[in-house]
Amino acid sequence: MRRWFSQKIAKLREVRQQRKTDSQHLLKARYHVFRSLLAGNNRAVDCLTEISIHLRMQGDPAGLTKLVLRLVEETAEMVAQLETLAGSRYRGLFAVHQAIAKRVQDTLARLASPENRPCVLPLAQIHGGLKGQTGNKAAALAELRKNGLPVPDGFVVTLAGCRFFLEHTGLSLELVHLLATHGADKEKHVSGAIAAKVQGLITQASIPPALAEEITAAARTFLENGKPLAVRSSSISEDGGRHSFAGQFSSVLNVRDEAQFLTAFKEVVASNFNARSLAYRLNAGLDPLRFDMAVLCLEMVEARAAGVLLTRSPQEPESGLMLVSAVPGLGEAAVSGSAAADLYLVGADGKVDWERSTIASKERLLVCEEAGGVAWRELGPEARLQPVLSEAELQALAGWGRELERREGLPLDLEWAVDRTGAVVILQVRPMTTMGLPATDDRREVSPVLAQGVRASGGRAAGRVLVVKGRKDFENIPQEPVVLVMQQSFVEAVNLLGQVAAVLVELGSPADHLACVAREQQTPMVCGVHDGSTLLPDGQWITVDGNQGRVCEASPEEISAAEKAWQHGPPGVRRMRVPLPPLHRELQELVTVLHLTDAYGPTFSIVECKSLHDIVRFVHEKAVLSMFHAGDEMLEENLGVVHAIDSPVPFFVSVIDMGGGVVVTGPKRRRIPPEAVVSHPFQALWQGITTPGLHWGPPPGGTPMGSVMSSFITDQKSERPIGMPNYAMVSRDYCNMNARMDFHFIMIDAVASPEPRSNHIKFRFKGGGTSLTRRRRRALCIGEIFEHYGFSVNVKEDLVNASLQGAAREAIEEKLVMVGRILGFTRLLDAAMGDDAMIGRVARAFMEGNYALSGLMDKE
């Protein structure tokens, strides 16, 4: 009998141990699902960012389709992981995701059959309506040629053709990711290393066979007849009335065979992303990520002389004089400034002002090589001081300049060449962007830089600072130009982007939810603006340069312009947006638009998820909440495998190691010192918990809490079983803590990793051992404290929810020290909340370090 009884006892112990082991494995598996979900959330937000950029670029649908389908798969996985974490609590989300995915796929099917746009157009077939496909340079030359002016023959590889190349094998996805995440440098404005990497990806990429054959066939018509080509850029942004992009892109001259031509094509496309071009876009207030280039291929003119004609001399714009710059040989030497050039002043009547003209000493000229390409040649001594052009040639040039200025009705900048027969040929014509236009960048260099950050959404805007400390500050936005300044990237601000001039965020990321929508709505936004809410006082006029990530003092002119613009409506009404085609807009609504902005409001529900962006936001929020409810029954099974902290204060916590969170040297033991827990967020919390001056003794007027057991016994309103300890689940960069403090509970979930986008703090407080009125006051006081430290806060009755996300590990740890202090500080608050005036007074006492409320209790 004794033997039988011993076997039964041993069997029970074995079963109990197995239950503990299984429960521990289940708890760790739950944690790893949660961390996998957080990683998936980051990938999904990256995907949303790239999709927003692709929608803006309106390129070939192949890359966009691939991105969207990737997001559909990523969000499906996130929904499945949430179900694992939360059981059947959000089961309806699966059906909602399926419905959205079906609509997305239907839209993509229609998007995949766009209007057939040609990849190649002969110059003779180009008209003004095709400028959006051929670029300004090609369209202007085609119009001149059609009107009988001397322009070389040629063809254009259209914007559709160039984008087809960039979409091939997913090349554009790599480019967008590199430029969106690494392209801008807050000191240099452009990363030369990243620009070089982008260009290398393009020049080394293969051209789609169908496109290669089509463009080579167009080139063959010239090359087989002994007519070399000049391969040049023709961007939609280039040669416009505002921006010339002069010298920003590459030209490849004297292309003589098909292999040279395909190489030249890729080189010109790649030049759209060179460091020089990207810097030009940033300084001109243009989108550095936008690709809008076609490639113009013209019959090469083997010039005897070439150069530039300005129909108004920049030095004397009202004099009627024209300025002609001329070099011997090819004109690239003149436009690049790499060789000395003659400068001629020519009157409207064609008369040359020889006295004021300059004949340079010209030592070399650029010529075509027989095998292709160009080379420098030395000029003989007798030719160096000879005028490049005769008076007759200058008069002919001036005649063309007068005629073209008359037709266009504005001053022009012409590139020209004189061929071996002496005929003048026009190679390019564009408006003179320096005439009658303000110098937009001079003041930017002079204005003091008040703060610096990282570009999240481009653009430039002026407004008054409005420091946002909490959600209530969003309720009454002043009816004037406003720049929101926030400690973290409050998603609730999404609804205000159309009403404000710009947004500054101390923490946050260019890839977070608010940044995604800011780019979509073209609202300037800069994140990483350290101490912005301290450096920039409420009401100060500032100018936000989203392109360069700068905040400057607003000039009187900018203030006046912003106030006048406001009279015509909020910024969202006035912003010039590139309208999306209907299918792109439909896709935007289903994918990137965010409707779930208030995580604590009644509309934050499954039925309000209308887009994949909503799914991402919903799953992330609910996943963190699910970790709050790890399950006491699961913890009860694990009590035998956890460590108990030897605490110097009467706060007793059991620690469950999820992996890498506890390091114990020597023999295994259940009680361990706090320093054995190497979890970064736990250590930050513990630093706060053990802050000198916190009142861990009996609360005023309360029952003495001399031991953890007395705490359990007196806690008669516990929502958890009596006897359940405080616990923390930890890993190296994670901590989830559930704490019972007298008659209330506190839950904390925090990630403090090297990746800021993964980091967050979620805090929840509820309960109390006094009347509902006092509990409400305590909740409002705690909410005020958390708002002061930059958290997003929601208070309902005696429940406080606070969150902070997207911060660097150091910032998360600093905030967690404060949260740790709250654990001890809140024990005093029930008795302190005698009237409403105490809410603010107690909050200020905490901020001032008066954790024991010295002097306040007597006043009450």
Q: Which residues contact 403 (CB under 8 A, 6 or more apart)?
A: none
Integer Rg of the chain from CA: 34
Q: Exposed/middle/buried for 672, CB within 10 Å: 0-12, 13-18, 19+?
A: middle
Strand (E) or helix (H) holding 586 = helix 582-591
Q: Is 672 in contact with 664 (CB distance < 8 Å)?
A: yes
pLDDT higher than 70, residue 318: yes
- The 10s digit of each residue's pLDDT in 358-381 is 888 888 888 999 899 999 899 888
Query: What are φ and ψ of residue 646, in 5° steps?
Result: -75, 105
Contact (Cβ atoms closer than 8 angstroms) between residue 322 and residue 345:
yes
Q: Which residue has the tokens 């009547």?
A: 349
pLDDT for 721 equals 37
Q: What are phi and psi of 323, to 5 degrees?
A: -115, 125
d(CA 248, CA 286): 14
Delimit the domains of the chain by residue range. Answer: 22-114+595-627, 119-301, 303-418, 442-584, 632-859
Query: Per-residue confidence at 706, pLDDT binned at 50, 70, 90?
Result: very low
* Whether the Cβ atoms of residue 789 and residue 769 lie closer than 8 Å to each other: no
Pairing state between β 726-731 and 671-672: unpaired
Apex 842 CA angle, 841 and 846, nearest 5:
120
Q: Retrieve residue 698's tokens.
A: 């009996």
d(CA 110, CA 619): 29
Q: Into which CATH architecture does domain 119-301 fall? A: 2-Layer Sandwich (3.30)
Cα–Cα distance for residue pair 471/474, rounded to 1 Å: 6
Mean pLDDT of the 458-471 span: 87
pLDDT for 5 equals 63
pLDDT at 556 over 70: yes
Mean pLDDT over 136-155 rounds to 90
Residue type, 104: V
- Segment 414-426 shows an average pLDDT of 89
- Encoding tokens for residue 687? 């630093």
User: pLDDT, tens digit, for every residue of 10-32?
Assistant: 666 665 655 565 556 667 777 88
- Predicted pLDDT of residue 252: 92
- Rounded to whole angstroms, how far apart are CA atoms 819 and 762? 10
pLDDT exceeds cutoff 50 at 189? no
Q: Which CATH superfamily is domain 303-418 in?
A: ATP-grasp fold, B domain (3.30.470.20)
Structure token pair of residue 625: 């909440």
What tokens does 796 get?
Answer: 């309902």
Among the ranges given (60-64, 200-204, 259-263, 449-453), the one the predictor scored with the smallest mean pLDDT: 60-64
Q: Write down the pLDDT at residue 720.
A: 38
Give the residue among 13, 46, 10 at the shortest CA–CA distance from 512.
46
Q: Tell me which of 658 and 711 has the higher pLDDT.
A: 658
More confident residue, 473 or 630: 473
Contact 23, 57 (CB under 8 A): no
The Cα 461–Cα 503 span in angstroms is: 10
Percent of the chain with pLDDT over 70: 77
Of residues 746 and 439, more confidently modeled:
746
Exposed, middle or buried: residue 510 (CB in 10 Å: 0-12, 13-18, 19+)?
A: buried
In angstroms, the CA 815 to CA 761 distance is 8
How much is the average pLDDT of 387-399? 89
CA distance linking residue 81 with residue 141, whole number of Å: 58
In the predicted structure, residue 115 carries a pLDDT above the cut 60 = no
pLDDT at 239 over 50: no
Q: Is the pLDDT of residue 709 over 70?
A: no
Query: Between β-strands 460-468 and 541-545, what pairing exists: parallel, antiparallel or unpaired?
Result: antiparallel
Half-sphere exposure of 354 (CA within 13 A, CB side): 5
Closest CA to 592 of 100, 99, 24, 233: 100
Furthest C-alpha separation in the chain? 129
Q: What is the pLDDT of residue 570?
A: 66
Average pLDDT, the chain: 79
What does DSSP assign to residue 252?
E
Which pLDDT band holds residue 295 (cuts at 50, 70, 90)? very high
Residue 549 and residue 571 in contact, taking contact as beta carbons nearer than 8 Å: no
Residue 745 is predicted with a pLDDT of 80
pLDDT tens, position by position, 61-113: 777 888 899 999 999 999 988 988 887 788 899 999 999 999 998 888 887 54
Contact 515, 457 (CB under 8 A): yes
Predicted local confidence at residue 93, as pLDDT: 92
What secondary structure does DSSP assign to 682-747, as a single string? HHHHHHHHT-TT---SPPTTS----SHHHHHHH-TT-SS-TTPPEEEEEETTEEEEEEEETTEEEE
154-157: strand order across its sheet: 120-122, 154-157, 293-299, 229-235, 252-255
- What's the token pair of residue 138? 């090609």
Q: What is the pLDDT of residue 544?
A: 93
Cα(618)–Cα(610) distance, integer angstroms: 11
By CB atoms closer than 10 A (0-12, 13-18, 19+), residue 782 is: buried
Of the ranges 183-197, 301-315, 366-380, 486-500, the best mean pLDDT one:
366-380
Using 50, 70 and 90 to split pLDDT, how confident is the model at 462?
A: very high
pLDDT tens per residue across span 580-607: 778 888 999 999 888 887 777 788 899 9
Q: Bigger pLDDT: 276 or 799?
A: 799
Which pTM was predicted? 0.56
pLDDT recorded at residue 484 = 93
β strands within 495-589, DSSP E? 502-505, 525-527, 541-545, 550-553
Quickly tell me which residue has 């996805």 as its tokens: 173
The dihedrals phi and psi of 778, each to the nearest 5 degrees, come to -65, -40
The domain made up of 442-584 is a member of CATH 3.50.30.10:
yes
